[in-house]
Structure 1
């Protein structure tokens, strides 16, 4: 048995991750971008999710010297790598670019596909929206920050997506709710619906954001700020 499979589920390490919820509110009914994970994947097989993935060390290094701005301007530094990862993962999984039409000089392997698009990342187009930690007992656990962006923040397309997500498409909120969603995806989708009802243009930033996590036998929803260092998992 390999080391990876011999770790007890109760001791599964928590990795950092980011997801980007892209909403198109230009039509008569808002739609959201979602894709289905491969049935062969260990974590959330065959489930419908928002584009996203792990935060890489290259994202942390870039965050330390990135001068392109974030939203809010006083976003906690600890969250900046998550915003950059969300932009990068959207590019990798969907081919869609949230960026500025300007060259981006970055030598890291993780950002190779984005660099090839000829754009520079624009994390200022992303609003921090929610945080969630995968409950204990799962084969993978993630400390995930969710961001929301308007579809008109997409400025271009890169090479073909990496194929990690199947059946990529835009779904109305009601249609998305009928998909086979992980519990946290369903909760975040409900939060997005509430956001669009209150702020259809997604212009404002809530001072306090939902934070979902397990506490013993209960599933908690607290409110936290994105302007201070987030509490440890």
Structure 2
């Protein structure tokens, strides 16, 4: 879908976004945290998704001066705002905090709800998982980085979730696959299942990650590095 400016169609802008896949491996069968989007939402209405949202300018500002670590330690600087956004959005949408038990004093307004929990963000607990760009023709388009972390990385809870996601719950992989998922969410879920089968403790991920995007009439899955600047949308 295109937008019109002065009567002339333009391409839908591609916005930066981040999602965090939280896996609980403490039980007899791994589970994943998911929520359902409101039916009234313009983008992916009534679909089940991982917690996430847009990268804010406050995330970019924080990434430039953030003194904590990332995973991997040499994560490309261009991806760091996405990792921070994933931590912030998880807190906003689920109330779950991935952070250190220390005051978070220097932050922008977007980080207010997170800072109120009494924690500082801990993006070193997140592993880059995949990147995806929404195909052309959609009402919204996003350049999204997906990250994964274990439930044991959750160090606390903040205020109640903001209500953007409904029916937040933990699902086995089989249960999650049976939900009404967007195409990209299903592909990422498949990647997570393969990851857990090979590395149940999520002790280390490959530098090369899947990158999903459209090229003409084809939908591609390439491998890209998370240690160098990612290719432009």
TM-score of the pair, normalised by structure 1: 0.96
Matching of residue 200 in structure 1 with residue 200 in structure 2: yes
Calculate the aligned-residue CA RMSD, in Å: 1.3
CA contact (8 A) 2:4 2:10 kept: no
Q: How does 1:48-67 map to 2 (within 5 A)?
A: 48-67=48-67
Q: Return the offset for 1:205.
A: 1.6
Q: Once the two structures are superposed, what CA deviation does each residue of 1:155-203 show, in whole Å capped at 9, x if it has no partner?
A: 0000000000000000000000000000000000000000000000000
CA contact (8 A) 1:128 1:226 kept: yes
Paired with 1:180 and 1:211, the residues of 2 have a C-alpha distance of 22
Other structure's SS at 2:26 match: coil
Paired with 1:5 and 1:160, the residues of 2 have a C-alpha distance of 36
Paired with 1:94 and 1:136, the residues of 2 have a C-alpha distance of 30
Other structure's SS at 1:83 match: helix
Name structure 1 gaps, 5 residues minimum: none
Other structure's SS at 1:102 match: coil
Paired with 1:10 and 1:38, the residues of 2 have a C-alpha distance of 28
Q: Return the offset for 1:97.
A: 0.1
CA contact (8 A) 1:211 1:223 kept: yes
CA contact (8 A) 1:101 1:118 kept: yes
**Map of 1:228 onto structure 2:** 228
TM-score of the pair, normalised by structure 2: 0.96
Other structure's SS at 2:62 match: helix
Paired with 2:50 and 2:99, the residues of 1 have a C-alpha distance of 19
Other structure's SS at 1:128 match: strand
Q: Return the offset for 1:73.
A: 0.4
Q: How does 1:89-108 map to 2 (within 5 A)?
A: 89-108=89-108
Q: How does 1:1-233 map to 2 (within 5 A)?
A: 6=4, 11-233=11-233
CA contact (8 A) 2:3 2:10 kept: no
Name structure 2 gaps, 5 residues minimum: none
Other structure's SS at 2:203 match: coil
The total of aligned residue pairs comes to 230
Q: Return the offset for 1:108.
A: 1.1
CA contact (8 A) 2:127 2:148 kept: yes
